[in-house]
Structure 1
């Protein structure tokens, strides 16, 4: 007999994620051959742009996992857009991922009203488009080889 629950539980979520990654590592020769545990292979990668007073004017939040950089967030304050700051943040994250962590690729998701053209200009290619996610908006998944 099983009890089924629907509730937010961070501890259970972390446990499930860990168990799924362990299962995946055993099932995949590629993942199993990588050094360290799955949790050790996922490392945060953050790049920040600060003004002279230390205020946040831009940043990139992501992580590296196996041989990939995953860009989760890239944001530049409206006052500083168009001056190349986003390009500098992205380039530094890619360089750190490649040089320090051996990443061979980068991936990210963006919506059609955000920055798909920005990423295309930086060598990213759309590999997936999900229309109406959310309604009226298209979400794109883009990848780029880092070499």
Structure 2
């Protein structure tokens, strides 16, 4: 007999994450070979601050298994044509490649956000999810670094 619960439980989430990672590592020769520092996700953040120290733009992501995963990239509306997004993305890619040994980058973006921006910086669409959320298309893009 099992009891099913639906509450948010951070301790159980951490345990579930560890157990799934261990199971995946056990079953995958590639993941077994990555044991150690390369197996761990490491946050990667790049910030742009204006002269007053206010946030003008930023990129958050993580590196894992030779990949940079860009989670968020945002630039203040007044600076969106000034090249700041390109500077943030380029810096993240450089750090991922030179300091963390990443050979690839990946990200998701919606059709109303920036798929053309990423394509213009060498990213290629490898996945499309229509109506996620309804009326919007999500793109997954990847890029070979260096």
Query: What range is the shorter-chain TM-score in?
Result: over 0.9
Partners of 1:56 and 1:102 in 2: CA distance:
28
Over aligned residue pairs, what C-alpha RMSD do you find?
1.2
Q: With the length of structure 2 as denominator, give the TM-score of the two structures.
A: 0.96
Partners of 1:113 and 1:18 in 2: CA distance:
35
SS of the aligned residue for 2:4 comes to: coil
SS of the aligned residue for 2:19 comes to: helix
Please give the residue correspondences for 1:55-74 in structure 2 after superposition, counting only pairs within 5 Å.
55-74=54-73
Which residue does the alignment assign to 1:31?
31
Partners of 1:118 and 1:37 in 2: CA distance:
32
- Give how far 1:37 is off: 6.4
Which residue does the alignment assign to 1:76?
75
The 10-residue stretch of structure 1 (43-52 or 11-20) with the greater mean CA deviation from structure 2: 11-20
Which residue does the alignment assign to 2:98?
99
Where structure 1 has 5 or more consecutive residues not aligned to the other structure, the ranges are: none
- Give how far 1:74 is off: 0.2
- Give how far 1:50 is off: 0.2
Please give the residue correspondences for 1:1-147 in structure 2 after superposition, counting only pairs within 5 Å.
1-36=1-36, 41-147=40-146
Question: Could you list the runs of 4 or more consecutive aligned residues of structure 1 that deviate by over 2 angstroms after TM superposition?
Answer: none
Partners of 2:118 and 2:78 in 1: CA distance:
20
Where structure 2 has 5 or more consecutive residues not aligned to the other structure, the ranges are: none
Partners of 1:107 and 1:101 in 2: CA distance:
15
